[in-house]
Chain A
Amino acid sequence: MEVPDEYNAKLSMRKAVYMNNPPVHPPVYAIDESVCKFHDCEECVKACPTQAIELDQKPEEVTINVGSIVVATGFEEFDSSTIKEYHYNDYPDVITNLELARMVDGFGPTGGVIVRPSNRQPAKKIVFIQCVGSRDRRWKPYCSSICCMISLKHATLIKSAYPEADISVCYIDIRTTGREHEYYYEQAREMGIKFVKGRPTEISRDPKTGKLVVDTEDALLHRLLELEADLVVLAPAMVPSEGTKELAEILGIDIDQDGFYKEYNAKLRPTETKLRGIYICGGTIFPKDAPTTSLQAHSAAVKAAKFLNKGKIIKDQRTAVINQDYCGDCEFCPVTCPYHAITLEDKGEDHFAAKVSDLLCEGCGVCVGTCPQNAIELRHSKPEQMTAQMNGILSLNESAEPLILAICCSECGHTAVDSSGMAMMEYPASVRVMKVPCTGILQIHQFLEAFKAGAQGVMVVGCKSDGCHYEVGSQKAEKKVDLAKTLLNEYGIESERLEMFQFVFIEGDKFAEAAQMMSERLKKLGNLKLMIGP
């Protein structure tokens, strides 16, 4: 039994027993279930000198206990047949760079000869088409970043082996940003490879001769071209490997808008995820070349080793604690927790209660702000501690200015206040800053308590809603402030006394401006009148 070999772009045949991927070490044979006749034949079982073959083996699930995970599941080519006008599946002589790579290989199925898959005749005229599916708002809006180099490499390899080959590259922009990469482009031009600035609209095939025609414009010449080709090579976008999304769900890590794994911080922690102990590297984060992939692999490996070598995990004590007496039968907190740190525990008789994993909890307090039963507290930021803090900082006011409580999150909010100080900006001394882990921890009654404690106005200062360090905290706070405003109106208190602000940490100027604005606004409103006196 023989079937087309997928590894060799179906240019050669393989048996039911085959070596999956020859360059992988150690070399391992596999048996293709869909081709093998199993017990009808059993020739391989007889032939194997070490009796390594068991035809009755069944797939099994194995549980492995690990201390750290490195996700390096890579990327794959975008399915070029999605772009109908390039007829990738209809015309055998339209191939992708991955398929061409097998032909370029001297040890590959064609021995390094570039052939037309339709008739196995050598291809003389070759047209490369760049950006197939990438830089395309309909499919993958990003630039896959490595395809220019792949096509340049293939084009120069082919041209050096077959100088008579007529090679054209249709491009939108050639991007050669790596070290010595521009040299490839230079070399390609020297060798006589033609570059056409234009993204072809369509590939058509003459039914009689089987020749392909690439319909494009050379934008620099202002000329429409019909490039004849024996072989058309597509440079498809690079997309996350199949199953990336499912694995992200299993691991509880995030993926970005393009479907790749999201790093914890693109600049400073590029191989870490939001979950401690899970690291990512290489093409799982974004398509990249071999040197960068190798660099990231080193980084992820070192991070994982460092994490394991400590032998212990040092955690902030600031984690959520559930009061089991109050908790029960709602599912708000497990759904809200950005770190999947809360699970529901069966308490029998159809009752269940929340349970926090101290290891996973990052101490943001979003669950505290969400709990309708007040059954969750954050260590070091308990409601009574927050009230005491509030009363303390509002107890003194030696100026005539209206007292304002600025409740700032410990990330962007408080750092923005710091930034205003470092830039020597002025804001009224009557603005009192109170630090909370994340604005998501706040509950509506706490805004009211601030007024009771003597504040004339309350500013809630958090991160940008799409840049919250705890993902959803700032958004939750925004909604609660809106709701609290409605309540204030009901109580006959001007809702303008409460305001939510969202800053990036460097926006100290905006904080100072906002504080000034609030102070002036409150002066105009005059003193707050509460029915219950302080």
Chain B
Amino acid sequence: MRAESFSETIRERLGGETITFCYQCGTCASSCPVAKRTTDFNPREIIKLCLLDEKDEILDGKSIWLCCSCYNCQERCPQKVEIADVIYAVRNIAIEKGKVPNIYFEFFNAISNDGRIVKVSQFAENKRPQLGLPPLQPTGVDALKKILSTTGFDKFHLKKEEPQ
């Protein structure tokens, strides 16, 4: 059987189905708030590189992690390419290969230890009654851990030991 190309792998994943619709018009790039700030990120280029099967350049690079998921590009794409979702699909492939920027391991840890991505400071907690908000409920970390292990999420967590 013929080896599956990178673009085909993306197409078969949830969110990646529409990648071949792209005709490189650049609407996404000009819609993108991140691309306006940095030349390191350009959604049109990510799609093009994926279509050209430049797997290493995409997975080893940092560009796919710069998308802020505002979905502006997806809203305006004339070919209905689900650009942000394609990027998610590519991120999932990268995560499976352990190619994840360090910061995400902090998030993994925070989620599995506290059930929250951002730790709530004592200051913020003290502020809540003053604003008339009820105290924060515990997150049910045990249940969460069960979900994380059933869905295989925690096995990515283990990869932290690997040198990055």
Interface centre among A136, A173, A201, A215, by most chain B C-beta atoms within 10 angstroms, is: A201
Q: How far is the CA of A222 from the CA of B32 in the complex (A)?
A: 13
The interface residues of chain B lying within 8 Å CB-to-CB of A137 are 21, 78-80
Please tell me if the beta carbons of A85 and B76 are within 8 angstroms of each other in the complex.
yes
**Cβ A136 vs Cβ B76 within 8 A:** no
Contact with A along B35-58 (1 / 0, CB 8 A): 110010010110000000000000
Nearest residue (CB) in A for B39 is A222
Chain B interface bracket (under 10, 10 to 19, 20 to 34, 35 or more): 20 to 34
User: Chain B residues with Cβ under 8 A from A136's Cβ?
Assistant: 78-79
Q: Across the two chains, which residue of chain B brings its CB closest to A197?
A: B26
Residues in A whose Cβ lies below 8 Å from that of B29: 198, 217, 219, 224
With the chains together, A136 CA to B76 CA distance in Å? 10
Do B23 and A215 touch (CB < 8 A)? no
Map CB proximity to A onto B5-37 as digits: 1 under 8 Å, 0 otherwise. Answer: 000000000000000010111111111000110
- Complex partner residue of B26 from A135, A199, A202, CB under 8 angstroms: A199
Instruction: From the candidates B23, B31, B42, name the one contacting A201 in the complex (CB within 8 A).
Output: B31
Q: Could you tell me which residues of chain A, from 212 to 241, have a CB within 8 Å of some CB in chain B?
A: 215-219, 222, 224
Chain A contacts for B28, CB-based, 8 A? 201
Q: A498: CB under 8 A from chain B?
A: no
Q: Encode contact with A along B82-107: 1 for CB under 8 Å, 0 otherwise.
A: 00000000000000000000000000
The reply to whether A224 and B35 contact each other, CB–CB distance below 8 Å, is: yes
Structural contact, A131 and B26, CB atoms closer than 8 A: no
Whole-angstrom distance between the alpha carbons of A224 and B39 in the complex? 9
* Contact between chains at B27 and A219 (CB < 8 Å): no
**Chain A nearest Cβ from B29, distance in angstroms:** 4
B76 engages A217 (CB within 8 Å): no
The answer to the question of A282 belonging to the interface, with a C-beta cut-off of 8 Å to chain B, is: no
Q: How far is the CA of A198 from the CA of B76 in the complex (A)?
A: 13
Secondary structure of the B side of the interface?
A: helix
Measured between alpha carbons, how far is A219 from B45 in the docked complex, in Å?
Answer: 9
Which residue of A is nearest B45, CB measured? A222
A138–B26 touching, CB < 8 Å: no
Closest to A135 in B: B78
In the complex, A363 has a CB within 8 A of chain B:
no
Interfacial chain A residues near B72, Cβ < 8 Å: 201
- Whether A473 sits at the interface, judged by CB under 8 Å, is no
Min CB distance A239 to B, Å, is 16
Query: Which residue of A has the minimal Cβ distance to B48?
Result: A219
Is A454 positioned at the interface, with any CB of B under 8 Å from its CB?
Answer: no
Given B26, B36, B45, which contacts A198 in the complex, CB threshold below 8 Å?
B26
* Contact-residue bracket for chain A: 20 to 34
A135 to B81, alpha carbons, bound, how many Å? 13
Residues of A within 8 A of B24 (CB): 172, 219
Which of A136, A173, A217, A219 has the most chain B CB atoms inside 10 A of its CB?
A217
User: Quick check: A202 and B31 within 8 Å, CB to CB?
Assistant: yes
Q: Is A200 interfacial (CB 8 A cutoff)?
A: yes
User: B73: nearest residue on chain A (CB-CB)?
Assistant: A201
A380 to B5, CA, bound (A): 57
Chain A residues whose C-beta falls within 8 Å of the C-beta of B42 in the assembled complex:
217, 222
Query: Does A131 contact B78, Cβ atoms closer than 8 Å?
Result: yes
Rounded to whole angstroms, the CA-CA distance of A135 and B26 in the bound complex is: 14
In whole angstroms, what is the CA distance A131 to B28 when docked? 15
Q: Contacting A138 at CB < 8 Å: which of B23, B31, B36, B78?
A: B78
Within 8 Å by CB of B30, from A135, A173, A217, lies A217
Asked whether, in the complex, the Cβ of B30 is within 8 Å of the Cβ of A172, the reply is no
In the assembled complex, which residues on chain B have CB atoms less than 8 Å from the CB atom of A173?
A: 23
Which residues of A sit under 8 angstroms from B25, Cβ to Cβ?
131, 172, 198-199, 219
Interface-central residue, B23, B25, B35, by most chain A CB under 10 Å: B25
Is A219 a contact partner of B78 (Cβ separation < 8 A)? no
Q: In whole Å, how far is B23's beta carbon from the nearest beta carbon of chain A?
A: 6
If the complex has contacts A215-B30, A219-B24, A224-B30, are A138 and B44 also in contact, measured as CB distance less than 8 A?
A: no
Contact, CB under 8 Å: A138 / B80:
yes
Flag if B26 contacts A217 (CB, 8 Å). Answer: yes
Shortest CB–CB separation between residue A145 and chain B, in angstroms? 16
CB distance from A429 to the nearest CB of B (A): 38
CA distance A138 to B21 in the complex (A): 13
Tell me, rounded to whole Å, the shortest Cβ–Cβ distance linking A157 to chain B. Answer: 26
Given the known inter-chain contacts A131-B78, A222-B45, please indicate yes or no for A172 contacting B35, CB distance below 8 A.
no
CB contacts (< 8 Å) of B80 on chain A: these are 137-138
By beta carbon, the residue of chain B nearest A200 is B30
Complex CA–CA separation, A200 to B44 (angstroms): 13
Q: How far is B76's CA from A199's CA once the two chains are assembled, in angstroms?
A: 10
Q: Do the beta carbons of A201 and B27 come within 8 Å of each other?
A: yes
**Which B residues lie within 8 Å of A224 (CB)?**
29-30, 35-36
> Known interface pairs A135-B23, A137-B21, A198-B25. Does A217 touch B44 (Cβ–Cβ under 8 Å)?
yes
Contact mask for chain A residues 165-176; partner B; CB cutoff 8 A; 1 contact, 0 none: 000000011000
- The closest CB in chain B to the CB of A85 belongs to B76
Output the residue of B21, B27, B31, B39 with the most chain A CB within 10 A. B27
Best-surrounded residue of A173, A197, A199 (most CB of chain B within 10 A): A199
Asked whether, in the complex, the Cβ of A219 is within 8 Å of the Cβ of B31, the reply is no
- Bound-complex Cα distance A138 to B78 (A): 6
CA distance A135 to B22 in the complex (A): 11
17 sampled A-B residue pairs with Cβ under 8 A? A131-B25, A135-B78, A136-B79, A137-B80, A138-B78, A172-B24, A173-B23, A198-B25, A198-B30, A199-B25, A199-B27, A201-B28, A201-B30, A202-B31, A216-B26, A216-B30, A218-B26
Closest 10 CB pairs of A and B: A199-B25, A198-B26, A217-B26, A136-B78, A217-B29, A201-B30, A201-B31, A172-B25, A137-B80, A219-B26
Taking A198-B30, A199-B78, A201-B76 as given, write out 19 further A-B residue pairs in contact, using a Cβ cutoff of 8 Å, ordered by the A residue number: A85-B76, A136-B78, A136-B79, A137-B21, A137-B80, A172-B23, A173-B23, A197-B26, A198-B29, A199-B26, A199-B30, A200-B27, A201-B31, A202-B31, A216-B30, A217-B30, A219-B24, A219-B25, A224-B29
